Amino acid sequence: MTRRLGWFLAGGLLVALLLAGVVSNFASGSPDGLDATARQGCTFDSHGEITGGDCMARREQDHQLADGPLAGYGIRGIDNPYLSTGLAGVLGVLVTFAVGGGVFWLARRRSPGKV
């Protein structure tokens, strides 16, 4: 790996870690486009619970991994929501970087003489 590529990858990883660890805490808590569309046609109470109407959200079910350690954009067991979200983002970046790096390492071109 060339020195320039190493610095580029390290810089990209650092930026991704900063975004995931710090900036993720400033993300909007409002429903995104898919959630807003799924809720169209229903009525809600002050707690956001469906009280009537017909919409896709009425058929919503919990995910199979809803009780997992990283469910809900945080880490279970960490009471500080900012720390929990930031650490979950950092962990996600590191796992993604490791898996992506492993895939590229396995798929890299090898010279014909090496096996």
Inside any domain, residue 28: yes
Inside any domain, residue 58: yes
Task: Return per-residue pLDDT of the chain as tens, 115 residues.
Answer: 588 988 999 999 999 999 999 998 888 777 688 888 999 999 999 988 899 999 998 988 888 888 888 888 899 999 999 999 999 999 999 999 999 999 988 888 766 655 5
Distances (CA, A) of 106 to 10, 13, 74, 102: 20, 20, 31, 6
Inside any domain, residue 103: yes
Hey, what amino acid is at 111? S
pTM of the model: 0.70
Rg of the chain (C-alpha set) = 21
Inside any domain, residue 113: no
Inside any domain, residue 75: yes
List the structure tokens of 45.
Answer: 């109470």
Domain that holds residue 37: 3-107
Q: Please return the burial class of 50, using the count of CB atoms within 10 Å of its CB with bins 0-12, 13-18 and 19+.
A: middle
Number of domains in the chain: 1
List the structure tokens of 26.
Answer: 């400033």
